[in-house]
Amino acid sequence: MHWLIEAVLYTMVDLVGYTVARIFLPLVSFRKVYVQPLNSPLGMGFNAFGYRHDEDGRIEIETSFAGFVGFVICLFALFTFYFLIRAAI
């Protein structure tokens, strides 16, 4: 049962987090930060923090780290909406 919960959690972080990071990071950074495409070779040239600079000077985030960043953004948005709704009541 533990492996099922772990698999669902990793899937949510990967799918939801990656999608949110892929949309949100370029918008916030004015296209200076972007996420590695899913069909590119994995882990080639990224540093320990999960990013690298490309030939244009932009920052490319690794897919697994982007999933984590996107999931944190989602959690922050959910808590913000919760507190805004709670304050309005």
| Phi, psi dihedral angles at 40 (to 5 degrees) | -90, 165
Q: What is the pLDDT of residue 41?
A: 80
SS3 62: coil
SS3 49: coil
Q: What is the pLDDT of residue 5?
A: 87
Q: Which helix (H) or strand (E) holds 56?
A: none
Average pLDDT over residues 62-83: 94
Q: What are the DSSP calls for 1-48, one per residue?
A: -HHHHHHHHHHHIIIIIHHHHHHHHHHHTTTSEEEPPTTSPTTSS--T
Confidence of residue 56 (pLDDT cuts 50, 70, 90): very high
pLDDT digits (tens, 9 = 90+) for 11-50: 887 889 999 999 999 999 999 999 999 888 876 789 999 9
